[in-house]
Structure 1
Amino acid sequence: MTRERCDYAVMAQEIAAGTLGPEGFTHRAHLGVAYEILSRHEVFEAMAIYAGGLRALTAAAGVPEKFNATVTFAFLSLIAERMAQASYDSAEAFLTQNPDLLRKGLLEGYFSPDTLSSALARRVPLLSATRQVGVH
């Protein structure tokens, strides 16, 4: 079993450089790294940095299909919103004070499972749980 990494600031530098490996990159680590990047960059710049690094990581791991633009955009938006509403001393403090973000299935409150698993959701950030893929 791989040990979870919690050196989020270092991991944020690695993801920005495209060198972060998948070892120890748990859901909690995803959130901690996102917090670190969002704390250092304007939100849209942070999203580009994080998404680019995550795409590089999934490609290097041989699973590029695991990247999901909708999931990435949704979590980064939730984290940025929480960061704008309160101050946190660290990524760890943020995670401790926002435990709901660690809950499995959190995004199912926003999106249907079919929407989240769609090919379109993997390519572009979708905004609506009720949006019908292919309907304009």
Structure 2
Amino acid sequence: MALTAWVSFSFIRPLRERAGTGSEALAQAVKLAILEKLVNAAFGVAAPCVFARHRLGPREAARAATLCCSSVRPRGGMTMDDGVFLERFSRGELSGFAHLDHVRVVYLYTLRAGRDAAVELTRAGLRALTGRLGVPEKYHETMTVAWVRLVSERAAAEPGRDFSAFVEDNPRFQRKDLLEDYYSPEVLFGAEARGRFVEPDLRPLPGERLPGGL
């Protein structure tokens, strides 16, 4: 961790301080994000891409996120085989579960079993994972169903692609806060939405409702 701090202080902090505006800010943000992801991968620091967002416009920030994630993508795709990944997820045996892991689970289950089954399989896996980690109360039903409805709608339109290509062409799925475009914080983070699926109050989710009103 001392080495990580040294790299951050010596390289990442100066990049942040030098970030300007416009195209210069975009270039600096991409360099910063790539370096941070490499440090995270090398030293096991679980953190997302971080940009000087207050100096970038929305379009530039989105473009920087896409460039960052594609630039440091491991050769050959994801580091764990899809089948092994899903098997470990279903057993609650993953050592870590980042946001894009959640998206990947939904995408793969949708391709393999269809949207309806993806809900059931994702729900079971998340409950197994949170239970194994000793935090079963962290499971959130509305987030689970809503992410399936969002991702499955695009997955159905783009079948036969690997996950890396899918998420690169659909960069909005890299946003952990994407559901806040559909739900107000009061609804999404309320007790009712955690326990059962609640329809959004800001804008409708794509696709038809799932069986049972989901």
Task: Name the TM-score, length of structure 2 as normaliser.
Answer: 0.55
Shift in Å, 1:85: 1.8
SS of the residue corresponding to residue 107 of structure 1 reads helix
Greater RCO between the two (CA within 8 Å, min separation 6)?
1
Task: Give the equivalent residue in structure 2 for 1:73.
Answer: 145
Measured against aligned partners, the alpha-carbon deviations of 1:9-45 in whole angstroms (never above 9, x if no partner) come to 12212223x2333x23110111112211111102111
> CA RMSD, aligned part only?
2.0
**Aligned length in residues:** 128
In structure 2, the CA distance between the partners of 1:2 and 1:11, relative to structure 1 (3 Å rule), is farther
**Higher relative helix content:** 2
Task: Give the equivalent residue in structure 1 for 2:186.
Answer: 114
Q: Which of 118, 123, 127 is the matching residue for 2:195?
A: 123
SS of the residue corresponding to residue 102 of structure 2 reads helix
Q: Which of 8, 25, 34 is the matching residue for 2:97?
A: 25
Counterparts of 2:160 and 2:150, CA distance in 1 = 15
Which ranges of structure 2 fall in alignment gaps of 5 or more residues? 1-43, 48-77, 203-214
Task: Name the TM-score, length of structure 1 as normaliser.
Answer: 0.83
Structure 2 residue 148 is the aligned partner of structure 1 residue 53: no
SS of the residue corresponding to residue 94 of structure 1 reads helix
Runs of at least 4 residues off by over 6 Å: none
Which ranges of structure 1 fall in alignment gaps of 5 or more residues? 131-136
In structure 2, the CA distance between the partners of 1:8 and 1:129, relative to structure 1 (3 Å rule), is farther
Counterparts of 1:126 and 1:6, CA distance in 2 = 35
